[in-house]
A and B are shown apart, each in its own frame.
Chain A
Amino acid sequence: MKITFNNNYISSTKYSSNKNLRSKSKPNFTGGNSFLKVLFDPFSDSNNKAVNWLTDKIAKGYAPILRSKPVEKFVTKYKNTNITAHLSAVIASTITLFYIKKTLENDKLDSKKRTTLAINQALVAIVSLLGSYKLEKIVAKPIDGYDEIITKKVDGKKIKEKGKHIEGFVDKFRKVNTEEINAEAKNIKLEDIDVKKLELEELLRSKKIDDSQIESLIKNPVLETLKKHLSAEELIEAERIKRLGKIDKWVDGIRVAKTLIIFGFIFRFFAPVVVTPIANAIGNKLNAKKEPKTVEQKPAEIKK
């Protein structure tokens, strides 16, 4: 992390009698974001050759899987489902099965206790799965918003109708960020625009340009060349649309984060801290009831 100080501070304070005119020393912290990047996603946009080579190889390795028919069928069939929730459930179940197997193979426990513990683990996992899906549904309402349902009586029959939309977190998030991006768009300078990231095809097609020229402009967009065909307003508008597109990514992030947080909380905290001890206590009680009182439990009388 680099911390830079304003070196002009001393000279400016020395000669400026007016306190309001003095420039205040504000240390600029740079590198905070890169620290977060290392923490969250160290391999993204890396210029490191080895990392690039590795991610390239993986990307090429993924290609045949993406091209395969089963993946195509699965994606087209289930594209509208909450895949993050289902995959989280699969991951949690796999880990639970692993721990059940470990419990059953634990030699330190007697066979009865092993079975009880394994059954407990399975039951806790099932309850946690159902709980996670239920909580997901409950939380979806305030996050995504929902339509009010109005029941009307028409000819003695009850009819349900959609009422007004109640805004959720996502709606408000979208609204605030759209307003902010639109406001920022007024201050965008052409020099700040990364033209390589802009969606220009439709815009260029609306102009009287040859197809071959459009192709070369899209393949290798350069601001100076683009300026010949598009006005500054059009380029700024394209930049605004690109920025607005980010909102969709953030909204996806809200939905994914919601699911992962719910499943993580239930399986990593609620199940082991709250549910498992209760289930174990019940299991132990049931075991104790079933066990016949044997001589081994009591001190045996020693006959003389």
Chain B
Amino acid sequence: MINSLSKDSHITHSLPSATNRKGSGVCLKKREIGVPAKNSNMITRKPAEISFGGFSGLYKSKGFKAFLETATDNQPVFSAIFAVLLTCILRPAAIMGLPGKKNKDDKKYAAAHSMASGVMGYILSLIIFSPLAAAMKKIGKNPQKYIGDTAEYLGDKASKSFQGTKEFKMASSIMKMGTEAILAAPRAIVTVALIPPILKYIFGWEKKSSSKEKISAPQNYAAINFKSKKYNHKKVFQNFMGVNK
């Protein structure tokens, strides 16, 4: 109890200057009860600072606040930025690091594929959703111009805090993320279609059929079982002998 009190800044500062000096060896409270202090530095400690669990720098960080503003204003782009972090760093690291049957080239291709998909997703999101987010921001800043006197449920349009109303925030999220939901499948089609040419022509990577696959391709032994009715033997032998069809 005494020790914990002495940690408090106002108590430490109220100590007489003689006891406040480093190395005096005795804590005031302890000297009163005749116990020498174990830690002579205790009373010279700096005023206690309020600790916020190691996040104190983050709370004030301008970059963090810009990051948060993006999350509020433009959810699809924020998701895409986070996806870039995952697909360009975490996923490739996991693909390369995890043990698996795939050979190294396949792993490299899978990692590159992941990176390309993340970057493509981000570029498409930026092109498609940024204008939508900017439009919603415009409505929030100047509701009377765009909505007029209708849609009263959204809040007081003359107020500067119109953008902060629950209703407007909800409507804004529906407009932005709702459009993202509608466009999710077409965007996925475009992303999937663009990845191979990007890998081939920009990075010069092309998926090669793995040598392992060729070796372990299942052999159709039934084809040379003459009793099997499943196969057209004539055709099989034509292929085998290289006869033109």
Q: Which residues of A contact B (CB under 8 A)?
A: 33, 36, 39-44, 46, 51, 54-56, 58-63, 65-67, 71-72, 74-76, 78-80, 83-84, 87-88, 90-91, 94-95, 97-99, 102, 169, 172-173, 176-177, 180, 197-199, 201, 242, 245, 248-250, 252-254, 256-257, 260-261, 263-265, 268-269, 272-273, 295-300, 302
B134 in complex: contacting residue of A41, A199, A296, CB < 8 Å: A41
Tell me which of B3-11, B17-25, B71-79 binds A.
B71-79
Contact at B185–A95, with CB atoms within 8 Å?
yes
Query: Are A41 and B70 interface neighbours, CB within 8 A?
Result: yes
B 61-73 to A, binary, CB cutoff 8 A, 1 in contact else 0 = 0010111111111
| B residues lining the A interface (CB < 8 Å) | 52-53, 55-56, 59-60, 63, 65-75, 77-79, 81-83, 86-87, 90-91, 94-95, 98, 126, 130-139, 146-148, 150-151, 153-154, 158-161, 164, 166-167, 169-171, 173-175, 177-178, 180-181, 184-185, 188-189, 192, 218-222, 224-225, 228
Asked if B60 and A95 sit within 8 Å, CB to CB, the answer is: no
B160 touches A62 (CB 8 A): no
Contact between B169 and A252 (Cβ–Cβ < 8 Å)?
Answer: yes
Q: Is the CB of B153 within 8 A of A65?
A: no
Least CB distance from A236 to B in Å reads: 17
8 Å CB contact of A95 from B95, B170, B188: B188
**Docked complex Cα distance between A295 and B98 (Å):** 36
Q: A56-B138, A63-B139, A99-B188 are in contact. Are A257 and B167 (CB under 8 A)?
A: no
Closest to B95 in A: A273
The answer on a CB contact under 8 Å between A295 and B59 is no
- Tell whether, in the assembled complex, residue A295 and residue B79 are in contact, meaning their CB atoms are under 8 Å apart: no
B146-A87 in contact (CB<8A): no
CB-CB under 8 A from B86, the residues of chain A are 264-265, 268-269
User: Of the candidates B56, B87, B138, B222, which one forms a contact with A55 in the assembled complex, judged by CB atoms under 8 Å apart?
Assistant: B138
Question: Are A67 and B150 also in contact (CB < 8 A) when A79-B167, A253-B72, A256-B75 are?
Answer: yes
CA of A249 to CA of B161, assembled, Å: 11
Residues of A near B160 (CB, < 8 A) are: 197-199, 242
Additional A-B contact list (20), CB under 8 Å, known A176-B56, A264-B86: A40-B77, A41-B133, A42-B130, A44-B133, A44-B134, A56-B138, A59-B136, A63-B139, A67-B147, A71-B171, A75-B170, A76-B153, A87-B173, A91-B177, A95-B188, A169-B55, A180-B60, A256-B78, A269-B90, A296-B222
